[in-house]
Amino acid sequence: MKKVLAGLAAVATLFAPGLALAEKLVIACGSVGQEADVCKQGAEAWAKKTGNTVELMSVPQDAGQQLAQFQQLLAAGSADVDVIRIDVVWPGLMANNFVDLKQYFGEDVLKEHFQPIVKNNTVNGKLIAIPWFTDAGLLYYRKDLLEKYGQKPPTTWQELVQSAKAVLEGEKKAGDAKLVGFVFQGKAYEGLTCNALEWIDSFKGGTIVDSTGNVTVNNPKAAEAIDFFAGLVGNVVPKGVLNYQEEEARNAFQAGNAVFMRNWPYAWALVNGKDSPVAGKVGVMALPKGGADGKSTGTLGGWQLGVSKFSKNPKLAADLVKYLTGPEEQKRRALVASFNPTIMSLYKDPELLKANPFMGSLYDTFVNAVPRPTITGAKYNQVSTEFRNGVYATLTGKGKAADNLKKVEAKLQSLGKGGKW
Ligand code: GLC
């Protein structure tokens, strides 16, 4: 029997040398907005082309909870997932558990992508992931409502508050009880870290930890910024925002219940979708400055695809990553779901720019986005947690920003080496 089987195998190899057996891969690729659907379409296209199958692993929407799920799987050496989507702030946290993709991706492919992202994905010389899409915080606004009340798109946060108040006053009189001024991601999770970094940077209050490793979070400009936003809660900003992630903010805005929204590019395709009540009524711009001498800034976000070290099929998994991160698929994803490509030449593609004009007009916002303090390496998640908890305390009325930031500073210094990173 053994002989017969061995013979059959030899015959199969002889007659179909290039035909590998169909394999099944598992990919974890996000669940905010259209993320899962659009990933599935791409994965299925690859599966059809190669004769394999791909299954999606379900993941929570909260980036921090996703991280916990992957860390658990990887710590257990699990082969249950082959391709993992990695947040731009994770490479320093999990590099050891990924395959070095340099063996599968040549310089010709890598040089097409934004180089700072490729660099960010390279840890101690190991390329742990390929850029998939990039992100920066943006301001969405209701063009129709601003026009109705003679308001211009705001260049400062203070102007945003004034405009929101003017619109709210008029619309409330006209009987719209549900309308609120501004929604963002205010829950105590990674999204709040992104929002609060934007507030602080826009007031020129630095970046939590600076590029040389000094903890800078406790300064008067940073405190002014956080107190400013805390002062809006219950006023122009509904209290419910303190429990909002990306999708809660988008749902409120898309239903026509908010004048302004801070969100990532993915919201563009959805708020302009066929069934969206606000389709065609939305403008998008860079986030406002923290006062006349502040700066306009957006936090750098975005996701990469890496291959788990525990995958039974790393070579095939790398082929799936190559397909999903390639130019054709990145363009498709931008057209159907407004995910910003990481391949530079796509920003000159007329079809893509027609569907997403902001990708051209706000190009500088994406290229100059402010990074979170990943200089803190393996401790980034702790740093982010301490920071946003301090911000959240202020937003919920538990102390002034100056006192809370002082406590955050002490915690970050004790996490870092000798008070410094
Ligand atoms: C977006 C960003 C990601 C960030 C997350 C926070 O998905 O791309 O970088 O960590 O939002 O909610």
d(CA 121, CA 101): 10
DSSP state of 217: -
d(CA 283, CA 153): 9
pLDDT in tens, 373-388: 999 999 999 999 999 9
Whether 411 and 264 share a structural domain: yes
Encoded tokens for 384: 């982010």
Q: Please check the confidence at residue 2 and state whether its pLDDT lies above 50.
A: no
Secondary structure, 3-state, 77-113? CCCCCCEEEEECCCHHHHHHHECCHHHCCCHHHHCCE
Structural contact between residues 288 and 156, judged by C-beta atoms closer than 8 angstroms: yes
Does ligand 1 have an atom closer than 6 angstroms to the CB of 247?
no
In total, how many domains does the chain have? 2
The predicted model gives 381-404 an average pLDDT of: 98
In this predicted structure, what is the pLDDT of residue 421? 86
Is 78 within the bounds of a domain?
Answer: yes
Nearest to 63 by CA among 27, 29, 34: 29
Structure confidence at residue 12 as a pLDDT band (50, 70, 90): very low
| Test site for ligand 1: of 34, 39, 85, 87, most ligand atoms within 8 A of the Cβ | 87
Is 40 within the bounds of a domain?
Answer: yes
Whether 294 and 305 share a structural domain: no
Whether 114 and 34 share a structural domain: yes
Q: Which atom of ligand 1 is nearest to the CA of 30?
A: 7
pLDDT in tens, 102-113: 999 999 999 999
- For residue 51, the CA-to-ligand 1 centroid distance in Å is 33
List, in order, residues 6 or more apart from 198 with CB less than 8 Å away: 137, 262, 287, 297, 298, 299, 370
- Residue holding tokens 């979070």? 217
Is 384 within the bounds of a domain?
Answer: yes
Structure confidence at residue 8 as a pLDDT band (50, 70, 90): very low
pLDDT in tens, 54-87: 999 999 999 999 999 999 999 999 999 999 999 9
| Test site for ligand 1: of 135, 138, 266, 305, most ligand atoms within 8 A of the Cβ | 135
- Whose C-alpha lies nearest to ligand 1, atom 12? 191
In this predicted structure, what is the pLDDT of residue 418? 76
Q: Which atom of ligand 1 is nearest to the CA of 189?
A: 12
* CATH code, domain with 317: 3.40.190.10
Q: Please check the confidence at residue 1 and state whether its pLDDT lies above 70.
A: no
Q: Please check the confidence at residue 16 and state whether its pLDDT lies above 50.
A: no
What is the crossing angle of helices 401-415 and 380-395, to 10°? 170
Encoded tokens for 315: 């070579």
Is 74 within the bounds of a domain?
Answer: yes
Is 15 within the bounds of a domain?
Answer: no
Does ligand 1 have an atom closer than 6 angstroms to the CB of 63?
yes
Percent of the chain with pLDDT over 90: 94
Q: In what order do the strands lie in the sheet with 282-285?
A: 180-183, 258-263, 138-142, 282-285
Lowest model confidence (mean pLDDT) among 14-18, 141-145, 285-289: 14-18
Is 238 within the bounds of a domain?
Answer: yes
Does ligand 1 have an atom closer than 6 angstroms to the CB of 117?
no
In this predicted structure, what is the pLDDT of residue 417? 80
The predicted model gives 7-11 an average pLDDT of: 44
> Does the CA dihedral 379-381-384-385 come out positive or negative?
negative
pLDDT in tens, 341-372: 999 999 999 999 999 999 999 999 999 999 99
Q: Please check the confidence at residue 9 and state whether its pLDDT lies above 60.
A: no
d(CA 78, CA 62): 22
Whether 28 and 106 share a structural domain: yes
Is 10 within the bounds of a domain?
Answer: no
Structure confidence at residue 420 as a pLDDT band (50, 70, 90): confident
Look up the domain containing 259 and give its range.
138-299+371-415
Whether 280 and 307 share a structural domain: no
In this predicted structure, what is the pLDDT of residue 19? 56
In this predicted structure, what is the pLDDT of residue 14? 42
Does ligand 1 have an atom closer than 6 angstroms to the CB of 198?
no
The predicted model gives 257-272 an average pLDDT of: 98
Q: Please check the confidence at residue 11 and state whether its pLDDT lies above 90.
A: no
Does ligand 1 have an atom closer than 6 angstroms to the CB of 301?
yes
